[in-house]
Chains A and B, each alone.
Chain A
Amino acid sequence: MPISATNKNGQSLLHIDGDMTIYTAADMKSELMTHMAQPCEREIDLSEVSEMDSAGLQILILAKREAEKHGTSLRLTGHSRAVLDVLDMCNLASYFGDPVVLSCNENKGQ
């Protein structure tokens, strides 16, 4: 499964691996929503997201909005190059409000 979950100090840590595209969006959505139903703090690690398109972006937006609705927090971490490009282009970094850290390697890529 592209999403793996671990629990740490009552905090749920989700790890997304692979493409977040229209081909994976439907599965990704249902899986992510199952996790979102639990009322706890959570973090999504995006460091292994290799490709992201509009469908993938919508899933992230949906997750963020669901979290807000449940009054829990959602943090995105480790944004891969693919994710950053999309958030940058859509001017959405501030919407998600997560600190974005670029590694040296990823920086060189652009």
Chain B
Amino acid sequence: MSLDLDQALQTYIAEARELLQDMEDSLLRLESDPNDADTIGAIFRAAHTIKGSAGLFGLDPIVSFTHIVEDVLDRVRDGDVVIEPNLIAVLLESGDHMLHLVNVVAAQGEKLDADAIKREGGLRIRLQAYQDNSSEVSHAIQVEAEIPLQSSGGGLVETDNWHISLRFGQNVMRDGMDPLSFLRYLSTLGEIVSITTMFDALPIADEMDAESCYLGFEIDFKSEADKATIAGVFEFAREGSLIHILPPHSKLTEYVELIRSLPESETRLGEILVTTGALTQQELEAGLSEQQTSARPDGSTTPLGEILVEQRSVEHEVVQAALDKQTQSKDSKSKENRYIRVQADKLDELINMVGELVIAGAGVSLLAQRVSDNPLQEAASVMSGLVEEIRDGALRLRMVPIGETFNRFQRVVRDVGRELGKDIELVITGADTELDKTVVEKIGDPLMHLVRNAMDHGIESAAIRQATGKSVKGTLRLNAYHDSGSIVIEIVDDGGGLNRDRILQKARDRGLIAPNVTPPDQEIYNMIFEAGFSTAEAITNLSGRGVGMDVVKRNITALRGTVSLDSAVGQGTTVSIRLPLTLAIIDGFLVGVGKSSYIVPLDMVHECIELTENDRQAASERSYLNLRGEVLPFVMLRDHFEVEGSGARRANVVVVSCAGQKAGLVVDELMGEFQTVIKPLGKIFSTLRGISGSTILGSGEVALILDVPSLVQQAVNRESQHVSTRQVIH
């Protein structure tokens, strides 16, 4: 396969996957609204396109199976088949199988294995029930009608040339068909031995319409091509035209018939045929004198064009009615979506380059400041403004709505619900919320885990729900929204909630919480994210809740995100995932401790205050500050990172907030906002707490990016320990 075609195949694979996803979404939509013509149309179009394009690449297994699906969908569209749950189930499975076909046949270039073939066989049988078997019959009849030529009686003529007699319909040129084009193409199939242009039909000047066609041709043609190929040359001009094709050594009677059926006089046509060598003089005379009225043995020798003309006139009205109907439904479908398909690599590369540009820009600004050249500084600041816009624009290119990811769960919820025998409805909100594609790709698995868990262990069985006075149908909600530079994804179920006491007990048993300490409820619930925390008995009816929750947490942490859980007994559980919008660049706030620089993500910075001497004194005793009467846990970065040297004369507190909790970070110096290109830390640093990445400053120095959520958590924990130890002491 050529490089170009290979690329086209990649386009096809991506396109087919997308269409199959759309098809699935639409099918699920049909469950609630089975008569939505737009949705049905969209499903049909998906199958139609997948099949059509597969044919281009010779992917016959895809064509052959999709054809059946398309056929059934066509009947649905025409209203011959009614949408019902079984049909949706078959179509959903067919969609899965088509995806499998695309993955195996198109993407890997392999054949289906025995299992898949068996599955396909089953699907074919189930689909057949919805197919119209009569259509095949009528198709067969039509094919037969198109084979003319044979008949008996009369001798064979001598010439070994084909004779082609053409009288074009008046409308061919108006329809965009140029008779000369057909002749040009004909001459690529063989040799035009002789040609006579017939314009007897051309009326006098006043009556002649310059856009109508009055031309005809008598052609003797030498070619090895078969009749179908030669007839095929004129297939687009059949309508309204008289086309006769006599193969070499045709029967004389057929020539006679031809002469009779043409508009020009017998003598004139006879002359032409003799002059061009199609017939000899003797053949002509013998033929014409035979005056047989039985020359037409049966309908089969009727010229092709005539058959078609007759058929057209009958069906025209029906066609028009159908046409009007189609147009109406199509017009209502109008939905603006104009996309350019760009390779993800190219975007990544662009974003990388923008990252470098941001760093370089910072270097320029720094230099401009050093030389204190005002115009230069001004220019640099204009430039960095633009760079910032480019950065945002570039990142936005990679932002995609989370809806697509959410929608995938429609199917999961439906299937798992059936498996579990629970009737659960998935409600999606905030589907338009956008986040970076790289984040989207990685969030699928953790989400899947959480959704399955919520269905399996969160939502109770119908019997229990009824007993507790809840509606029998359970609800699972996926929600997303933006919150201070992060995206928050919530998985909410209206199930029984977590059993707080059991978890507490379990945590104490495992030594995760001291026996005499009772942390706030929220903290207890979040214990289930601890590694290996839960076992079936641990939380009784919520048995598996904890299984693999630590894995979920790990995955989310790896994305610089956090996960937390809230629950109310009998009312349900909410899991919130908080993720950065992008993994590439953030607005940072640069702070200094000693000679080191650190970056705090700007959207987490709440305010900055000076650390007064009093506070400093007080802080050394207790682990919180007094922020206008509020308790503010804090972390001394100098101590935390063991920065050398004594504390600066003055210290500042950066108040950060994360997931509703505030904490103070004590630093020496506040250096202002800084666009931060995130460079991931190497593996060696993966155990480092409180650092989430690094960046390069304009000066070329490295600055570490603070992992604020973990620092906040640390500060809060330390503060509450302080509190609890105090409680114990007193």
The reply to whether A and B meet directly (CB within 8 Å) is: yes
| A residues at B contact (CB < 8 Å) | 22, 25-26, 28-29, 33, 36, 53-55, 57-59, 61-62, 65-66, 86, 89-92, 95
A54-B180 contact given A22-B173, A91-B195, A92-B197, CB 8 Å threshold: yes
Instruction: List 11 A-B pairs, Cβ < 8 Å.
Output: A25-B211, A26-B210, A29-B208, A54-B178, A54-B213, A65-B202, A89-B195, A90-B180, A90-B195, A91-B194, A91-B197
- Are A53 and B202 in touch, CB under 8 angstroms? no
- Are B174 and A86 in touch, CB under 8 angstroms? no
Known: A22-B210, A86-B180. 8 other contacts (CB 8 A): A22-B178, A22-B211, A36-B205, A55-B173, A58-B210, A66-B205, A89-B184, A90-B217
A55-B211 contact given A33-B205, A89-B183, A89-B184, CB 8 Å threshold: yes
Interface 1/0 per residue, B192-204 and A, CB below 8 Å: 1011110100100
- Chain B residue with minimal CB distance to A27? B210
How far apart sit A22 and B196, CA to CA, in the bound complex (Å)? 22
The B202-251 residues at the A interface (CB cut-off 8 A) are 202, 205, 208-211, 213-215, 217
Residues of B within 8 A of A26 (CB): 209-211
Residues of B within 8 A of A25 (CB): 210-211
How far apart sit A23 and B183, CA to CA, in the bound complex (Å)? 21
Residues of B within 8 A of A86 (CB): 180
How far apart sit A28 and B180, CA to CA, in the bound complex (Å)? 19
- Are B210 and A54 in touch, CB under 8 angstroms? no
Measured CB to CB, the closest approach of chain A to B119, in angstroms, equals 55
Residues of B within 8 A of A22 (CB): 173-174, 178, 210-211
B179 within 8 A of A: yes
Residues of A within 8 A of B179 (CB): 54
The B313-327 residues at the A interface (CB cut-off 8 A) are none
- Chain B residue with minimal CB distance to A91? B195
- Chain B residue with minimal CB distance to A64? B199
Residues of A within 8 A of B208 (CB): 29, 58, 62
How far apart sit A29 and B208, CA to CA, in the bound complex (Å)? 9
A61-B210 contact given A22-B173, A54-B178, CB 8 Å threshold: no
Residues of A within 8 A of B211 (CB): 22, 25-26, 55
Residues of A within 8 A of B183 (CB): 89-90
The 8 closest A-B pairs by CB, nearest first: A25-B210, A29-B210, A90-B197, A26-B210, A53-B178, A54-B179, A91-B195, A22-B173
The B164-179 residues at the A interface (CB cut-off 8 A) are 173-174, 178-179
- Chain B residue with minimal CB distance to A33? B205
- Chain A residue with minimal CB distance to B187? A89
| B residues at A contact (CB < 8 Å) | 173-174, 178-180, 183-184, 187, 192, 194-197, 199, 202, 205, 208-211, 213-215, 217
How far apart sit A54 and B178, CA to CA, in the bound complex (Å)? 6
- Are A53 and B197 in touch, CB under 8 angstroms? no
Residues of B within 8 A of A89 (CB): 180, 183-184, 187, 192, 195
- Chain B residue with minimal CB distance to A90? B197
- Chain A residue with minimal CB distance to B183? A89
Measured CB to CB, the closest approach of chain A to B215, in angstroms, equals 6
- Are A54 and B205 in touch, CB under 8 angstroms? no
How far apart sit A62 and B173, CA to CA, in the bound complex (Å)? 17
- Are B202 and A62 in touch, CB under 8 angstroms? yes
Which of B209, B210, B214: most chain A Cβ within 10 A?
Answer: B210
Residues of B within 8 A of A36 (CB): 205
- Are B210 and A59 in touch, CB under 8 angstroms? yes
- Are A53 and B205 in touch, CB under 8 angstroms? no
Residues of B within 8 A of A95 (CB): 197
How far apart sit A110 and B310, CA to CA, in the bound complex (Å)? 43
- Chain B residue with minimal CB distance to A29? B210
Instruction: Choose from A29, A57, A65, A91 the contact partner of B180 (Cβ within 8 Å).
Output: A57
Measured CB to CB, the closest approach of chain B to A59, in angstroms, equals 7
Instruction: Choose from A33, A53, A58, A66 the contact partner of B199 (Cβ within 8 Å).
Output: A58
How far apart sit A54 and B216, CA to CA, in the bound complex (Å)? 11
- Are B195 and A28 in touch, CB under 8 angstroms? no
How far apart sit A89 and B219, CA to CA, in the bound complex (Å)? 11
Measured CB to CB, the closest approach of chain B to A18, in angstroms, equals 15
- Chain B residue with minimal CB distance to A89? B183
Measured CB to CB, the closest approach of chain A to B187, in angstroms, equals 8
- Are B202 and A54 in touch, CB under 8 angstroms? no
Residues of A within 8 A of B180 (CB): 53-54, 57, 86, 89-90
- Are B173 and A54 in touch, CB under 8 angstroms? yes
How far apart sit A25 and B217, CA to CA, in the bound complex (Å)? 21
A55-B195 contact given A22-B174, A61-B202, A89-B184, CB 8 Å threshold: no
How far apart sit A81 and B197, CA to CA, in the bound complex (Å)? 20
How far apart sit A108 and B636, CA to CA, in the bound complex (Å)? 88
Measured CB to CB, the closest approach of chain A to B207, in angstroms, equals 11
How far apart sit A59 and B213, CA to CA, in the bound complex (Å)? 11
Residues of B within 8 A of A53 (CB): 173, 178, 180
Residues of B within 8 A of A90 (CB): 180, 183, 195, 197, 217
Measured CB to CB, the closest approach of chain B to A28, in angstroms, equals 7
- Chain A residue with minimal CB distance to B213? A54
- Are B202 and A58 in touch, CB under 8 angstroms? yes
How far apart sit A86 and B192, CA to CA, in the bound complex (Å)? 14
Measured CB to CB, the closest approach of chain A to B689, in angstroms, equals 77
Residues of B within 8 A of A65 (CB): 202
Measured CB to CB, the closest approach of chain B to A76, in angstroms, equals 15
A58-B215 contact given A29-B208, A53-B173, A65-B202, CB 8 Å threshold: yes
Residues of A within 8 A of B184 (CB): 89
How far apart sit A47 and B183, CA to CA, in the bound complex (Å)? 24
